[in-house]
Amino acid sequence: MALLEILEFPDPRLRTEARPVADVSDDTRTLIDNMLETMYAAPGIGLAATQVNVHQRVLVMDVSDDKSKPLVFINPEVTVLDPEQGEYDEGCLSVPGFYETVSRPQRVAVTALGRDGKPFHIQMEGLAAICLQHEVDHLNGKLFVDYLSVLKRQRIRKKLEKDQRERA
Ligand code: QAP
Ligand code: CO
Protein backbone atom coordinates (compact mmCIF):
# COMPACT_ATOMS: atom_id res chain seq x y z
CA MET A 1 0.00 0.00 0.00
CA ALA A 2 1.06 3.59 -0.43
CA LEU A 3 0.22 7.07 0.78
CA LEU A 4 -0.95 9.32 -2.04
CA GLU A 5 -0.32 13.06 -2.40
CA ILE A 6 -3.44 15.14 -1.80
CA LEU A 7 -4.03 18.15 -4.07
CA GLU A 8 -4.83 21.40 -2.25
CA PHE A 9 -7.13 24.29 -3.14
CA PRO A 10 -6.79 26.28 -5.39
CA ASP A 11 -5.03 23.61 -7.52
CA PRO A 12 -6.87 23.71 -10.89
CA ARG A 13 -6.68 19.89 -11.16
CA LEU A 14 -9.34 19.76 -8.41
CA ARG A 15 -11.71 21.23 -11.03
CA THR A 16 -11.45 18.16 -13.33
CA GLU A 17 -14.67 16.22 -13.93
CA ALA A 18 -13.95 12.53 -13.22
CA ARG A 19 -14.86 9.82 -15.76
CA PRO A 20 -16.88 6.70 -14.91
CA VAL A 21 -14.91 3.52 -14.21
CA ALA A 22 -15.53 1.17 -17.15
CA ASP A 23 -14.55 -2.00 -15.32
CA VAL A 24 -13.50 -2.57 -11.74
CA SER A 25 -10.00 -4.04 -12.14
CA ASP A 26 -7.07 -4.87 -9.89
CA ASP A 27 -5.77 -1.36 -10.66
CA THR A 28 -9.05 0.08 -9.36
CA ARG A 29 -8.71 -1.99 -6.17
CA THR A 30 -5.10 -0.84 -5.68
CA LEU A 31 -6.27 2.77 -6.04
CA ILE A 32 -9.05 2.17 -3.49
CA ASP A 33 -6.69 0.54 -0.97
CA ASN A 34 -4.19 3.40 -1.32
CA MET A 35 -7.00 5.98 -0.98
CA LEU A 36 -8.25 4.30 2.23
CA GLU A 37 -4.72 4.22 3.66
CA THR A 38 -4.25 7.90 2.74
CA MET A 39 -7.63 8.87 4.25
CA TYR A 40 -7.00 7.02 7.54
CA ALA A 41 -3.46 8.43 7.80
CA ALA A 42 -4.61 12.04 7.28
CA PRO A 43 -6.87 11.44 9.29
CA GLY A 44 -10.06 12.06 7.34
CA ILE A 45 -13.57 10.67 6.97
CA GLY A 46 -13.81 10.89 3.18
CA LEU A 47 -11.58 11.08 0.10
CA ALA A 48 -12.39 11.29 -3.60
CA ALA A 49 -10.02 10.09 -6.36
CA THR A 50 -9.97 13.65 -7.76
CA GLN A 51 -8.11 14.74 -4.60
CA VAL A 52 -5.25 12.35 -5.38
CA ASN A 53 -5.18 13.48 -9.03
CA VAL A 54 -6.93 10.37 -10.40
CA HIS A 55 -9.91 11.49 -12.45
CA GLN A 56 -12.12 8.41 -12.12
CA ARG A 57 -15.44 8.20 -10.29
CA VAL A 58 -14.18 6.52 -7.10
CA LEU A 59 -14.59 7.67 -3.50
CA VAL A 60 -13.96 6.22 -0.06
CA MET A 61 -15.45 7.15 3.32
CA ASP A 62 -15.49 6.00 6.93
CA VAL A 63 -17.78 7.91 9.27
CA SER A 64 -17.77 5.23 12.00
CA ASP A 65 -16.57 6.25 15.49
CA ASP A 66 -13.82 3.62 15.66
CA LYS A 67 -12.83 3.93 11.96
CA SER A 68 -13.74 0.30 11.35
CA LYS A 69 -16.27 0.68 8.51
CA PRO A 70 -14.61 1.60 5.21
CA LEU A 71 -17.15 2.43 2.49
CA VAL A 72 -16.26 2.33 -1.21
CA PHE A 73 -18.36 3.91 -3.97
CA ILE A 74 -17.53 3.49 -7.66
CA ASN A 75 -19.66 5.42 -10.21
CA PRO A 76 -22.03 6.67 -7.46
CA GLU A 77 -25.46 8.01 -8.43
CA VAL A 78 -27.12 10.09 -5.72
CA THR A 79 -30.86 10.78 -5.38
CA VAL A 80 -32.16 13.27 -2.82
CA LEU A 81 -34.88 11.58 -0.71
CA ASP A 82 -35.83 14.54 1.44
CA PRO A 83 -35.21 18.08 0.15
CA GLU A 84 -34.95 19.39 3.70
CA GLN A 85 -31.46 20.80 4.17
CA GLY A 86 -29.31 20.54 7.25
CA GLU A 87 -26.23 22.54 8.19
CA TYR A 88 -22.89 20.97 8.94
CA ASP A 89 -19.41 22.40 9.61
CA GLU A 90 -17.52 20.81 6.73
CA GLY A 91 -13.81 20.43 6.28
CA CYS A 92 -11.77 18.93 3.45
CA LEU A 93 -8.33 17.34 3.18
CA SER A 94 -7.81 19.59 0.12
CA VAL A 95 -8.63 22.70 2.19
CA PRO A 96 -6.55 22.01 5.32
CA GLY A 97 -7.26 24.02 8.45
CA PHE A 98 -10.65 25.41 7.41
CA TYR A 99 -14.14 24.39 8.54
CA GLU A 100 -17.21 26.27 7.36
CA THR A 101 -20.98 25.71 7.56
CA VAL A 102 -22.60 24.23 4.43
CA SER A 103 -26.28 23.31 3.88
CA ARG A 104 -27.16 20.10 2.06
CA PRO A 105 -30.08 17.65 1.83
CA GLN A 106 -30.15 15.38 4.91
CA ARG A 107 -31.37 12.15 3.34
CA VAL A 108 -30.11 10.62 0.09
CA ALA A 109 -30.12 7.28 -1.69
CA VAL A 110 -27.08 6.08 -3.57
CA THR A 111 -26.49 3.40 -6.17
CA ALA A 112 -22.87 2.48 -6.84
CA LEU A 113 -20.47 -0.37 -7.49
CA GLY A 114 -18.51 -1.76 -4.56
CA ARG A 115 -14.83 -2.79 -4.41
CA ASP A 116 -15.93 -6.17 -5.82
CA GLY A 117 -17.54 -4.48 -8.85
CA LYS A 118 -21.05 -5.47 -7.74
CA PRO A 119 -23.85 -2.86 -7.68
CA PHE A 120 -25.46 -1.93 -4.36
CA HIS A 121 -28.09 0.55 -3.22
CA ILE A 122 -28.28 2.23 0.20
CA GLN A 123 -30.01 5.12 1.93
CA MET A 124 -27.92 7.47 4.02
CA GLU A 125 -28.63 10.21 6.52
CA GLY A 126 -26.75 12.46 8.91
CA LEU A 127 -22.97 12.79 8.53
CA ALA A 128 -22.80 9.89 6.05
CA ALA A 129 -25.23 11.66 3.68
CA ILE A 130 -23.34 14.96 4.02
CA CYS A 131 -19.95 13.35 3.47
CA LEU A 132 -21.16 11.38 0.45
CA GLN A 133 -22.47 14.54 -1.24
CA HIS A 134 -19.22 16.38 -0.43
CA GLU A 135 -17.19 13.58 -2.05
CA VAL A 136 -19.44 13.30 -5.13
CA ASP A 137 -18.98 17.08 -5.55
CA HIS A 138 -15.20 16.42 -5.82
CA LEU A 139 -15.85 13.99 -8.70
CA ASN A 140 -17.69 16.85 -10.43
CA GLY A 141 -14.84 19.31 -9.82
CA LYS A 142 -16.69 21.09 -7.02
CA LEU A 143 -15.38 22.03 -3.55
CA PHE A 144 -17.21 22.98 -0.35
CA VAL A 145 -15.64 26.45 -0.56
CA ASP A 146 -17.80 27.02 -3.68
CA TYR A 147 -20.83 27.23 -1.35
CA LEU A 148 -19.25 30.08 0.67
CA SER A 149 -19.21 33.82 -0.02
CA VAL A 150 -16.60 35.16 -2.45
CA LEU A 151 -14.97 36.95 0.47
CA LYS A 152 -14.60 33.80 2.58
CA ARG A 153 -13.37 31.76 -0.38
CA GLN A 154 -10.78 34.47 -1.21
CA ARG A 155 -9.55 34.55 2.38
CA ILE A 156 -9.09 30.76 2.37
CA ARG A 157 -7.36 30.82 -1.05
CA LYS A 158 -4.89 33.54 0.01
CA LYS A 159 -3.98 31.69 3.23
CA LEU A 160 -3.48 28.34 1.47
CA GLU A 161 -1.45 29.96 -1.35
CA LYS A 162 0.80 31.50 1.30
CA ASP A 163 1.18 28.12 3.11
CA GLN A 164 2.00 26.45 -0.22
CA ARG A 165 4.60 29.14 -1.11
CA GLU A 166 6.26 28.74 2.28
CA ARG A 167 6.47 24.97 1.84
CA ALA A 168 7.91 25.17 -1.69
C1 QAP B 1 -15.31 15.61 4.04
O2 QAP B 1 -13.21 15.73 5.05
C3 QAP B 1 -16.25 16.09 5.11
O4 QAP B 1 -8.82 20.76 7.57
C5 QAP B 1 -14.14 14.82 4.53
O6 QAP B 1 -6.55 20.06 8.78
C7 QAP B 1 -15.80 16.65 6.30
O8 QAP B 1 -12.04 14.15 6.07
C9 QAP B 1 -17.58 15.99 4.90
C10 QAP B 1 -9.27 17.14 7.59
C11 QAP B 1 -16.69 17.09 7.26
C12 QAP B 1 -18.48 16.42 5.86
C13 QAP B 1 -18.04 16.94 7.05
C14 QAP B 1 -9.51 18.47 7.37
C15 QAP B 1 -8.10 16.76 8.20
C16 QAP B 1 -10.21 16.10 7.14
C17 QAP B 1 -8.59 19.43 7.78
C18 QAP B 1 -12.18 15.32 5.84
C19 QAP B 1 -7.41 19.06 8.39
C20 QAP B 1 -7.16 17.72 8.62
C21 QAP B 1 -11.29 16.36 6.35
CO1 CO C 1 -13.17 17.25 0.40
What pLDDT shows up at residue 151? 98
The string of pLDDT tens digits covering residues 109-141 is 999 999 999 999 999 999 999 999 999 999 999
pLDDT band at residue 2 under the 50/70/90 scheme: very high
The Cα diameter of the chain in Å comes to: 45
β strands within the chain, DSSP E: 46-48, 58-61, 71-90, 100-113, 119-125
Ligand 1 near 96 CB (within 6 A): yes
The string of pLDDT tens digits covering residues 43-69 is 999 999 999 999 999 999 999 999 999
Nearest CA to ligand 1 atom 19: 96
Amino acid at 24: V
Report the candidate in 88, 89, 96, 125 with the shortest Cα–Cα distance to residue 110: 125
Closest ligand to C-alpha of residue 138 is: 2
pTM (2 decimals)?
0.98
